[in-house]
Amino acid sequence: MRRTLVVVVLLCVGAALAASAWGTTGGQEARSLTIYSGREQELVEPLFERFEKTTGIDVKVRYGGSTELAATLAEEGGNSPADVFFAQDAGTLGAAAKAGRLERLPAALLRKVPARFRDTGGRWLGTSGRARVVVYNTDVLKPADLPRTIFGFVDPRWKGKVGLAPTNASFHAFVSAMRLTVGDPRTRAWLRGIKANDPKFYEKNTPVVEAVASREIEVGFVNHYYLYLVKAERPKAPIANFFPRRGDPGALVNAAGVGVVTGNDRRAEALSFVRFLLSPWGQRFYASGAEEAEYPLVAGFKPRKGLPPLAQVHGPAISLGQLGTKLESTLRMLSEEGYTS
């Protein structure tokens, strides 16, 4: 009987310590958290479920496009029910920060992530990394057949053979990065050159990769991890990722990330969620637990086998925080050039 009592006490202590690690109190009052998630439900729902189970905090999620949710936060202002903005890319996080909708995070959390993947003002931080790539059909093409730079795809050789998701936040960030790197005139010229090649537009990135696998198109402009999502369903799909040359806008290394919404009443719970995303479980989820195989950003965690180390993947020499300053004008440019659907 005494041994049983000791075991029960130890279990209770362990549960209390686990709860305190994320900043929970274990009190009687029900605790909740409202998250605006620009990350797709099928990708990140296991994260939310694990967080709820670990902390006892009830999570309410509003899913949508990251660009759409950043605009919603700005429109709602202080009346927003959101406590956390969990976004697909740094550009939309930067836009929310620029609108004054994200508060400064504690220095101890910011230090966990390399400076390259966090806001210079400390209002958001990256939770996982993603590189822009050109996915290609390996039955049709070899790496030597592909241009070293994204600008090479305006060549008429690629007419009718390119696919992309023009309304996706990652594409918006990529275009913003191009503008910051080579300026608006050359960016417009690239958009027009690609449009003249009759590209195929898709609603999301996964269908782009699926279209490459089925030879509906030969190449697609996506983030690196979508290949792994398709490979999980079709292991023998004839697809591979090509990384454009160092410094090219087509090699942008962006970050999915998180920020705490200003004026919310659940700051402790919101910070618990941020800590959870940076925890060993959260970082391993991106590296090995999730199908999409994103890059973990906290030191000590390696990416999925087969991915080049993040230190070797370099896009244009820009600060990710700059992307948010360009989002609104990038959307306007894309609309003007016919990249709306």
For tokens 């087509």, what's the residue?
250
- Amino acid identity of residue 301, one-letter, is F
Mean pLDDT per segment of 10 residues, for the chain of length 341 residues? 37 40 48 94 92 96 95 95 95 93 97 94 95 97 97 97 94 95 97 98 96 98 92 94 93 94 94 97 82 86 84 86 90 95 68
- Amino acid identity of residue 67, one-letter, is T
- State whether CATH 3.40.50.1860 applies to domain 2-128+255-304: no
pLDDT of res. 293: 85
Residues forming CATH 3.40.190.10 domain(s) in the chain = 2-128+255-304, 130-252+324-336
* Residues facing 134 on adjacent strands: 221, 242
3 state DSSP class of 296: strand
Residue 312: count of CB within 10 angstroms of its CB = 9
* Residues facing 239 on adjacent strands: 137
222-264 pLDDT per residue, tens: 999 899 889 989 999 999 999 999 999 999 999 999 999 999 8
- Cα(323)–Cα(96) distance, integer angstroms: 11
pLDDT of res. 289: 67
Superfamily classification of domain 130-252+324-336: Periplasmic binding protein-like II (3.40.190.10)
Q: What is the dihedral of CA 282, 285, 287, 290, to 10 degrees?
A: -150
pTM of the model: 0.80
Strands 125-137 and 58-63: what pairing? Answer: unpaired
Q: Return the structure tokens found at 72.
A: 């919603």
Q: Return the structure tokens found at 319.
A: 């600060």
User: CA 157: distance to chain centroid?
Assistant: 31
- Cα(203)–Cα(206) distance, integer angstroms: 9
For tokens 């960016």, what's the residue?
187
Q: Are the beta carbons of 277 and 315 closer than 8 angstroms?
A: no
* Residues facing 51 on adjacent strands: none
Name, in order, each residue with C-beta under 8 angstroms of 205's C-beta and a sequence gap of 6 or more.
165, 168, 170, 220, 222, 223, 226
Name, in order, each residue with C-beta under 8 angstroms of 79's C-beta and a sequence gap of 6 or more.
none
